[in-house]
Structure 1
Amino acid sequence: MVIFGAGGDLTKRLLMPALYNLARTGLLPAQFALVGLDRIEQTDAQYRAHVEAAIRAFAADKHYSQAIDEASLQRLLSSIVYMQADFSAPAAYQALGARLALLKASHGVGDNVMFYLAVGARFFGPITDQLGAAGLVTETPEYWRRVVVEKPFGHDLPSAQALNAQLRNSLSESQIYRMDHFLGKETVQNIMLMRFANGIFEPLWNRDHIDHVQITVAETVGVEARAAFYETTGAMRDMVPNHVFQLLALTAMESPASFDADAVR
């Protein structure tokens, strides 16, 4: 796994705690390695300390013990390496390819690689272009390559369409994962189950029985260290066209023909 934006807020609050919880519950592959890329210069040890602090601060989960499982944490930390990189420099992607080859030898990992773009949307296209030019997203029958992009996806419809076209220059649709992390929340995942697998609610889930729908975003986290992100994106684009509209779509959508990905989309 490769994370672009390894020092950012999304990585700190969500990605690293999620990886830790996968390790703790035995869902992370035994042969796993993670490369964190960002602009900041630091050693592997310094980055691992940063990751450890994030996990201890944000990995608590109401479904499990609040205590950190030290063995799982250390196992995850030992799989992490760090690279300082200029995302616009072709040399950075050549170096990344070499680092992945070294990890294959040192950690026994396979050739399946997921690139997680935990960066601003303006970087999605350039990073994907560079990955394609370096041959890092080329698939074979023996292994896959995936690219995950986070919301917000563009700043309006034309920019989102242009970004889609740019991603498709280097990737097939099956390689692209457009991620809205709100959809991973347990309550959100249960909306379709509650609606479509429930003989009580489904017959009543229509305009004849529902007066209105209200979606409240009760955030407790402020801007904190994300001032630069909000300067370019803004709170509305950060929340409404993705998180809130996804919740609205799940609430108001018609019943899909099946629950596979294409039918739901």
Structure 2
Amino acid sequence: MGMLTGKIAVVTGASRGIGRGIALRLARDGAFVVVHYGRRRHEAEGVVSEIQQHGGAAVAIGADLSTIDGIHQLYSELDIALRELRGDYRFDILVNNAGIGQILTMEEATVDSFDEVMNMNVKGPFFVTQRALPRLRDGGRIINISSFVTRVASPSVFTYSMSKGAIDVFTRALAEELGNRSITVNAIQPGIINTEMNAGTLQHQDGQQYAAGLSTFNRWGEPEDIADIAAFLASNDSRWVTGQCIDASGGSRL
């Protein structure tokens, strides 16, 4: 029996990268996983297949979380799927992972680029969580994916950094709000992880040296490094931890 047997987890942006890693790990620990995707249906279905091949259970649901209509679509499909597959629309774990990276300085930013990153990285998680609260069981878990750029000044990703700063504040305020329901709320702050979002950095030797050199371990991170922390935060072992932003950058810029 896995630590999460009988639990239902919703992981946003789970078709690739960190989200995929978290979905696979939570399923391995026994959770039934809802693999949310934005546009990459084929990849999301691949994650579901991989989970099923290892004896787990999962379903893929697509929705654009940068719009309120898309968030409404997510929950209308989710309610139907969970009632059909599990007999109840409620769930236990929400992982707010869906987001976009954006390499733009303050000078390069436009109103459109600002709105794009804020809609996806701030408005999305806020309203996904707002809609989740009546569906989330008491004693549940909310895990937000932030970034080490909230600690390490990174002007090359200016608006992105601001968006993740909002997630850190959201995490603490929500933890206080939900304490009376025994729901923990924590954030993970990855450094540079080997995902498609960072492919531009990691495809060149200079970028590889930069990424590895940030960490005291002299390597960049892998999705599994983050997924294992998420597994702890999703489990009963983390019951006394809430409102925390956990640096997961391999000791970058200590």
User: Scaled by the length of structure 2, what TM-score is found?
Assistant: 0.50
Q: 1:81 aligns with which of 53, 56, 59?
A: 59
Gaps of 5+ in 1: 23-27, 56-71, 183-218, 245-258
Greater relative CO (CA pairs within 8 A, separation 6+): 2
**1:226 and 1:4 mapped to 2: Cα distance?**
19
The answer (yes or no) to whether the contact 2:144–2:171 under 8 Å persists in 1 is no
| Shift in CA distance, 35/115, structure 1 to aligned 2, threshold 3 Å | same
After superposition, where does 1:233-248 map in structure 2 within 5 Å? 240=214
Q: Which amino acid aligns with 2:198?
A: R
**1:51 and 1:41 mapped to 2: Cα distance?**
13
**1:118 and 1:239 mapped to 2: Cα distance?**
25
CA RMSD of aligned residues (A): 4.6
Q: 2:133 aligns to what?
A: 137
Deviation at 1:39, TM superposition (A): 2.1
The answer (yes or no) to whether the contact 1:47–1:82 under 8 Å persists in 2 is yes
The answer (yes or no) to whether the contact 2:37–2:62 under 8 Å persists in 1 is yes
If you compute each CA radius of gyration, which structure gives the higher value, 1 or 2? 1
Q: Show CA shifts across 1:119-178 (max 9, x none).
A: 447644222221245x322478x6355321235154347946543334456563654122
| Shift in CA distance, 238/96, structure 1 to aligned 2, threshold 3 Å | farther
Deviation at 1:85, TM superposition (A): 1.8
Q: Which amino acid aligns with 1:163?
A: I
Deviation at 1:90, TM superposition (A): 0.7
**1:109 and 1:154 mapped to 2: Cα distance?**
41
SS of the residue 2:65 aligns to: coil
User: Is the aligned partner of 1:48 residue 2:81?
Assistant: no
User: Is the aligned partner of 1:165 residue 2:169?
Assistant: yes
User: Scaled by the length of structure 1, what TM-score is found?
Assistant: 0.49
Identity, % of aligned positions: 12
Q: Show CA shifts across 1:85-138 (max 9, x none).
A: 2121111221222223213321225523322123447644222221245x3224
Q: 2:188 aligns to what?
A: 179
Deviation at 1:179, TM superposition (A): 2.9
**1:11 and 1:169 mapped to 2: Cα distance?**
23
Gaps of 5+ in 2: 1-8, 101-116, 154-161, 219-238, 247-254
- Which has the larger strand fraction? 2
